[in-house]
Amino acid sequence: MSNITFRFIASLVVMLSVMTMRGQVTAQQESQDSMLNVVAFFCKNDTMDYRYEHIKAKITGNDTVITQQYLSDLRFVVRDSTSEGYEIECIPMGSKMDFGSDSLMTKIMQAMYEKMGDIHTVFTVDEYGELQHIKNWKEIKDYSRNMVKHICDSLYSTVPALNEIMPRTRLEMMCSMPFVSEKTYMENDDELQLLFSNFGNAFTMGRREMDTQSEIGSPAHMEFVIGYGPSSEEYGYEGDYFISSVTTTTIPKEDIKTYANSAVGLLMSDKVMDNVAQEIDKMEVTDAEIKVGEEYVYFYNGWPCEMNYYKTANVMNIKNIEIKNITWTSRTWHIYDFDTDGDTGKNM
């Protein structure tokens, strides 16, 4: 294998390492009078349909290339409502995956998501709306592990030489990590996190800025805007509210190489590991800036309206972009009775 190939792999590992770093920080809750509490006031048989989109792209100079695009339609139905919380079912309604020029991965992943369409996720949240448990976790875990095996079977049978660079056992282990436990699965499910991660939390109203450290220990600057207002002129309500933030994190170049070398140790075969690590050490890497923007818009009753997440990372003169968006497309609500926790069955 040539040095050019090792250099390409090293560059790819560096960019992936930066994009997978957690640049955002957790919003601090403060004891102040002017607070916004994210609380679920759902009712049995409430039904929300959403469209989820996940895009990854690269910008080099004036050229923009979309490297991955995933679309899915989801339906959330409240199956039960008690004083202790809610039981909700997530029903996949269709999906589409596109890896751009990589037609092989597009076919493999599309087949996988079509199979996953058969799996409904049944989960519980507490009285505030905070995620608690996946009720059919064993079914999802078994199916997900079979799904990873199916992907690896297809990938390594089509490209046998890949095993020399990235041993199948290591890739399979990495792909299976989100399914090692119920808690890990909930933390890595993009749709559930976008829709339910803020429930049970309180946020300081208004606009503010703060300098802090990100979850990986790098210096970060945060800007928050939090308040009330109709989510839209046509479909919104006065009691709707929003939480938005932008976090800018600077990753020192020394840390970038450290993370990249760690990734090499986890994924690459012993045969190529040293060569790739040497190329990483020789690379001229500058500090990287990661910017993470988050906007969460809720209806007055707590149902998510539109959730936006974007992440940009400038690495080696290439801007990597990741965008996640989930937006409601249809809703059927029942009236929340604050006295009896019941509902009247009236549709919205």
Nearest-5° angle of CA 297, CA 302, CA 308? 25
Point out the residues of the chain with pLDDT beneath 70. 1-33, 101-105, 107-118, 215-216, 256-284, 316, 336-348
Tokens standing for residue 96: 């589409």
DSSP H or E segment with residue 288: strand 288-298
Tokens standing for residue 12: 């790819």
- 119 φ, ψ to 5°? -100, 120
Compute the distance between CA of residue 262 and CA of residue 264 in angstroms, rounded to an integer: 5
Which residue type does 219 have?
P
Contacts of 9 (CB under 8 A, 6+ apart): 165, 268, 272, 276, 279
Boundaries of every domain in the chain: 3-332
98, 69 in Cβ contact below 8 A? yes
pLDDT 10s digits, 37-82:
999 999 999 999 999 999 999 888 888 888 889 999 999 999 999 9
Kindly tell me the sign of the dihedral angle through the C-alpha atoms of 168, 171, 175, 177.
positive
Tokens standing for residue 109: 């992943």
pLDDT of residue 244: 95
87, 42 in Cβ contact below 8 A? no
Tokens standing for residue 117: 């369409």
pLDDT of residue 99: 78
Contacts of 30 (CB under 8 A, 6+ apart): 204
What is the CATH number assigned to the segment(s) 3-332?
2.30.230
pLDDT of residue 108: 67
Closest C-alpha to 187, from 92, 179, 175: 179
Q: How many CA atoms lie within 13 A of 70 on its CB side?
A: 21
pLDDT of residue 259: 67
> Is residue 220 classed as helix, strand or coil in its secondary structure?
strand
pLDDT of residue 64: 86
- 267 φ, ψ to 5°? -105, -40
pLDDT of residue 204: 92
* Neighbour-count burial for 6-21, b at 16+ CB within 10 Å, e otherwise: bbebbbebbbbbbbeb
Q: To the nearest 5 percent, what fractions of the chain are helix, strand and coil?
A: 30, 40, 30
pLDDT 10s digits, 124-173:
999 999 999 999 999 999 888 888 888 888 888 888 888 888 888 888 88
